[in-house]
Amino acid sequence: MAKLTKSQTLAALSDATGMAKKDVALFMDKLTELAYKQVKSAGEFVLPGFGKLVKVARAARQGRNPATGETITIPAKTVVKFRVAKQCKDALL
């Protein structure tokens, strides 16, 4: 089965809920906006039964330049990770 595009996802949600595609699109945009704000300010955003986005500090580390083999320092940075909820894992696996 092919993966769903954004428009296919919106159409499927529209059919399942009886809402207009425009309303579903607005809801998805606002949910995304809320998730970004929450992760940026609080460090995580939880979507119950699905998982959570978590902001994680990654420490500096040593790496290797593949072209020259030279050892380089990879600087510390903040990354966002998605952690799948147990309920979701159980349903899918």
14-63: pLDDT as tens digits: 999 999 999 999 999 999 999 999 999 999 999 999 999 999 999 999 99
State how many domains the chain has.
2
Rounded (10°) CA dihedral 31, 37, 40, 44: -40
Does 2 share its domain with 38? yes
Regarding whether 36 and 47 lie in a shared domain, the answer is no
Residues 48 and 80 in one domain: yes
pTM, to two decimals: 0.78
Q: Is pLDDT above 80 for 1? A: no
Domain with 25 in it: 1-42
Same domain, 18 and 8: yes
**Residue 58 bridge partners (DSSP):** 77
Query: Residues 68-90, buried b or exposed e (16+ Cβ, 10 A)?
Result: eeeeeeeeeeeeeeeeeeeeeee
Q: How far apart (Å, rounded) are the C-alpha atoms in residues 76 and 59?
A: 5
Do 5 and 49 have their domain in common?
A: no
Say if residue 5 is in the same domain as residue 22: yes
